[in-house]
Amino acid sequence: MRARLSSALHDVGAVKTVVFNTETIDSYRKSLQSVNMIVVVLVVAAAALAFIVLYNLTNINIVERTREIASLKVLGFTPREVAAYIFREIALLVVLGAAAGLALGVLMEGFVVLSSEVDAVMFGRVIHGGSFAWAFGLTLVFAAFVMLAMLPKLRHIDMVESLKSVD
């Protein structure tokens, strides 16, 4: 159908070029597939970085507070109470950090989109609410995994050795 229409229009002397919108759309879709792959790589890298940063910060928090944790154990706090005490603070920091990250992410997204646009292609500048929910939710999930990974470290803090050490 398209081929017949194209050849019929070319037979008209005033027509030099025939381009169908569907061909243009298909061309843009193919070029954006590579952009989608880059976005996937960036999201995976950001997720790995978030997990590593959360793990390291939680580990540092526990190591720096070893004497305090040992004191709580000596005072009779159960392992569950000690974990709740430490992880409650970490959860609050994660929520505050994620909220600040979302706000700063809006600014960064605006800069990246404006920087990467060319004359022929303009990217959407609206961030959907679902994207915020996914980012916030995944951050909380990573934090939960980190807390679960740190539970054995909390349980194995030696009370006597920790309280003997001099700062």
Mean pLDDT of 144-156: 91
Nearest-angstrom CA–CA distance, 124 and 113: 8
Task: Return the percentage of the chain with pLDDT > 70, whole number.
Answer: 96
Amino acid at 56: N
Please name which of 165, 154, 160, 149 lies closest in space to residue 78, comparing C-alpha atoms.
154
The predicted-structure confidence for 15-55, as pLDDT tens digits, reads as follows: 777 777 887 788 878 877 887 888 899 889 988 998 899 99
- Contact 84/147 with Cβ under 8 angstroms? no
DSSP 141-162: HHHHHHHHHHHHHHHT--HHHH
pLDDT given for residue 115 in this prediction: 83
Residues in Cβ contact with 142 at an 8 Å cutoff, skipping those fewer than 6 apart: 47, 50, 51, 54
